[in-house]
Amino acid sequence: MSLDTTDRRILAALQKRGRMSNAELSDAVHLSPSACHRRVQRLEADGYISGYVALLNARKLGVPTTVFVEITLQAQADEVLDAFEKAVARIPDVLECHLMAGTADYILKVVAEDTEDFARIHRQHLARLPGVAQMQSSFALRTVFKTTALPV
């Protein structure tokens, strides 16, 4: 299925305000409520909309520190990659894990209370990940820009 202009307007509006009612959405994209509802259902069924979430305030939840961790593995065999990926997915402080091209094999986005908490996460979880040859951590000093909205 290809997206038309109306589909793109629906996706853009929902990325900004995912809790808006169908009536509000239909007004925003200039469609009848029933036509808008059908389009949203189709966008969900076709996988363009994969889910709905609440975006939480990390500072209010006590995890304002973001750390990016570059990881190089000892080997690139499928079983090494699989074991690493399964283990890292079980660490609750890891928000994202990306397989990379370049100097590092993976980059992780980790949240922590502060540097001491990150040291605990490192000691209890990251240092125990299977197949790791090298790890380098970089602390974010300030978030300049952050969005979850994809360009549509």
CA angle (44, 22, 36) in 5-degree steps: 60
pLDDT of 34 > 80? The answer is yes
**For the whole model, what pTM was predicted?**
0.90
CATH of domain 5-45: 1.10.10.10
Q: How far apart are CA 105 and CA 79, in angstroms?
A: 14
Provide the residue ranges of all domains of the chain, joining segments of one domain with +.
5-45, 65-139
What pLDDT was estimated at residue 51?
Answer: 95
CATH of domain 65-139: 3.30.70.920
Q: How far apart are CA 85 and CA 127, in angstroms?
A: 14
Q: Are 131 and 74 in contact (CB under 8 A)?
A: yes
Write the pLDDT tens digit of every residue in 109-134: 999 999 999 999 999 999 999 999 99
Fold match between domain 5-45 and domain 65-139: no
